[in-house]
Amino acid sequence: MNKFTLTTARRTHLAAALLASLFIGGCSMPRLHSLLPKAPVPATWPSAAGSPGAAVSQTAMPAAALPVWQSYFQDPELSALIRIALDNNRDVRIAAGTLAQARAQLSVRTADELPTVNLGAGASRAPNAFGAMSTLFNTGLSITAYEFDFFGRVASLKEQALAQYLASQEASRTAQISLISMVAQSWLALQTDEALLASTRRLGVSRERTLQLVQLRHQQGVASDIELQTNRALLQSVRVALGPLQRQRMLDENTLVLLLGQDIPAAHKRALGEGTLMRNSMAELAPGIPSEVLTQRADIRQAEHLLKAADANIQAARAAFFPRIALTAGLGSASSELSSLFSSGSWVFSVAPQLLLPLFDHGRNDANLATAQAAREVAVAQYEKAIQSAFREVSDALTQRSGWQAQLEAQQAQHAADLARLELVQLKLAHGAASALDVLEAERSVLADQQALVLVQSALLQNQIALYKALGGGLEPTP
């Protein structure tokens, strides 16, 4: 073996060792997304909340403890409205379209991992070595600039597209969960409007009866002018209160129509006329729900996937510092005569590997890597903010739930006391110890209590809906 052969062998071994070290170095880059930031929230809800799920350990129950909406919202009329909204709402359609775009982009990145084979045909005309013009016809299969992904650039771009797709999937879930809660809240608001309108109308009838009695007493000289004008003013105040209630009902109906994407079904409109709320129409949340359940929230999972996409983008930016190996190949036939293009002896093939190592890019790759790293810091902050915002929403809902529950109990006690007072006044009237005005006044107190009770009950139900949404319930968990 001569000196030239030894030198060539050494060079070959050195080049192979260099490529191997580069390959190992590129393939051994740490995967950043294996470590997610620790949730910057306590493990338990605030103890002052004093309601189901407050001040309990994360180990009290598994994270996937919330029922799906079909089990949680047990009112059949509301369930029908939710299904209509999920089918027709435009925001949900927009989210579905965005998800389809992300899925298609993922397919594009997946296709980049495999060579693209093209079938082509062409003709060229150029002067030959003797200065005469010659024509060359060719046809065949070709692979153009297929990149061997030794350093994970293409795989990282595919991983980024996958994370973006999963984030879009969670965004679509967020849109659906928000829609479910808004439909429930709007339906409850309409029921509250109807109940308040019915109660106000009953109060107006009571005021009219009182005014008629006062007018008779005034004609007999028993009631004063002040008493007469006072009762007229009270009647007018009830009529004035009807206007805002009717306007609010129309606004709430318009909101529900927008959410449904169509008009409210006639059967639901007839049910609204009953003036009753969704009593016992929502399942009770089990006590001991841990703060860990927030990790099932779609918006937090979306932020998590966006963080993983940022990690993958860093991997792709790092891979740009390593050599890029590409292959261009072709197999077909070529001939100067079109009639002999497929004749024997016209078959040709070509293989053209290419290795590109960036040397001077004026800091472009460094800037791309710095941009990717800064984007990851933004994604980390957004992920932590999503968790903190979710924790606050649940804590606020739990705190409000405790307050509304105490107010409901006090309102029910007041209503019971006024009912007992009404019974006593009616009993006194039967024995001639009270007047009809005393009875009407007691009836008005009962009606006012009923209005206040409707408002408190509605607020408590709205809080129950908001709490369920804040905990991340609504749909089947994503696999």
Mean pLDDT of the chain: 80
Q: What is the pLDDT of residue 43?
A: 66
* Band of pLDDT at residue 256, cut at 50, 70 and 90: very high
pLDDT digits (tens, 9 = 90+) for 110-139: 888 888 888 888 888 888 777 778 887 788
Q: How much is the pLDDT for 30?
A: 47
Domains of the chain: 37-113+151-322+367-470 (1.20.1600.10), 115-148+323-356 (2.20.200.10)
Q: What is the pLDDT of residues 258-281, one digit of tens each?
A: 999 999 998 888 888 766 776 657
255 or 142, which is more confident?
Answer: 255
Q: How confident is the model at residue 45 (pLDDT cuts 50, 70, 90)?
A: low
pLDDT at 52 over 50: no
pLDDT tens string 419-456: 999 889 888 877 777 777 788 888 888 888 888 998 99
pLDDT above 90: percentage of residues in the chain: 17
The token pair that represents 5 in the structure block: 């052969």
pLDDT tens column, 195-240: 899 888 888 888 888 888 888 888 888 888 888 888 888 889 888 9
Q: What is the pLDDT at residue 83?
A: 93
pLDDT tens digits for range 71-107: 888 888 899 999 999 999 988 889 889 989 999 988 9
90-111 and 76-88 helices, crossing angle to 10°: 50
Mean pLDDT on 15-29: 43
At residue 335, the pLDDT reads: 76
pLDDT for the residue numbered 279: 60
Cα–chain center distance at 251: 25
Reading the block at residue 201, the tokens are 């109308």
pLDDT surpassing 70 at residue 6 = no
pLDDT value of position 109? 85
